[in-house]
Homo-oligomer: A and B are copies of this chain.
Amino acid sequence: MSIKLETANPVRSFKGRGTELVADGLVRGGQRAVVCASAGNLGQALAWSARGRELDVTVVASRFAPAVKLERIRALGARLELVDGDHELARQRAAELAAGEGVRLLEDSLDLETCEGAATIGLELVESGVAFDVVLVALGGGAMATGIGQVLKELAPGVEVICVQPEGAPAMTRSWRERRVVTTDSAVTIADGVAGRFPIAEVLDDLLVVADDAVLVQEESIITGLRMLLHDAGLVVEPSGALGVAAMLENRDRFAGRHVVTVVCGGNVDMDSYYRWIGSS
């Protein structure tokens, strides 16, 4: 197994790859403001990319998002508005705000820059020159899976692209399996970064083209994955970043003898929660 590490950067997730494109494009287009909903990582990355670019960032997030993510969004200078609900409510509120203020709404996974940013992960994998058979990608809204998948299907079509989602937040995986948008009433998982309920139809269309499979994993496997990444790789990772390892743990036969790459996509985690997970049996 190889790790594609996306946490060793100032925002500790892969999201900066897309927000750099977004911020650059906005400034070139003479825009001064942008609004996004965020589970926590996109908001940080957008705030980071806006620094030094004279771009005002408003992030709408669930008040249940990890404190460390909310603190970092504020610390990076963005305006943060919290909603008393989950990420889907934050998406609604962000859309209202952007419409009311007449500024760009950045929609993760729907807006191409977010997928193009993630696609550069795929490019780096291909350009590494290392042969691999499978890539495991965390599945939330779908930006990472469609971005990486698009590149691999083009440049390394023999590589199996497998999306991984928690059993407690399976909306996009169910949608992929049924080839139509399936929503869920709730999303219950420690993997807050991928806890969506309302898949976007256009993103599903792309995912149906580029993903070879979508699997669900249990919370316990995610926790074991967190522990393995800490003890064997020395990495503090957020639950979404351990989804690929969880999938390997649950599907050992499927991956035996194959070179599997797992994208460790984020490392923003409340340390008190983290220690509780790591310490649990």
Instruction: Indicate if A187 sits at the interface (CB-CB under 8 A).
Output: no
Known: A8-B235, A230-B236, A231-B271. 13 other contacts (CB 8 A): A3-B8, A5-B8, A7-B234, A8-B8, A12-B234, A234-B235, A234-B236, A234-B237, A234-B267, A234-B269, A235-B235, A235-B236, A236-B236
Interface residues of A (CB under 8 A from B): 3, 5, 7-8, 12, 230-231, 234-237, 267, 269, 271
Q: Which B residue's beta carbon lies closest to that of A231?
A: B271
Most buried by B among A5, A234, A271: A234
Number of copies: 2
A8, A230, A271 interface centre (most CB from chain B within 10 Å):
A8
Neighbouring B residues of A236 by C-beta, 8 Å: 230, 234-236
Q: List 16 A-B contacts (CB under 8 A).
A: A3-B8, A5-B8, A7-B234, A8-B8, A8-B235, A12-B234, A230-B236, A231-B271, A234-B235, A234-B236, A234-B237, A234-B267, A234-B269, A235-B235, A235-B236, A236-B236
Least CB separation from A7: chain B residue: B234
Please give the distance in Å from A264's CB to the nearest CB on chain B: 10
Which residue on B lies nearest to A10, using beta carbons?
B2
Inter-chain CA distance A271–B228, complex, in Å, is 12
Question: Which B residues are in CB contact (< 8 Å) with A12?
Answer: 234
Contacts of A7 in B (CB 8 A): 234
Please indicate the chain B residues that have their CB under 8 angstroms from the CB of A231 in the complex.
Answer: 271
A234 to B238 alpha-carbon distance, docked (Å): 10
Which chain B residue has the least Cβ–Cβ distance from A267?
B234
Q: Which residues of B contact A235 (CB under 8 A)?
A: 8, 234-236
Q: CA A237 – CA B231 in complex, angstroms?
A: 11
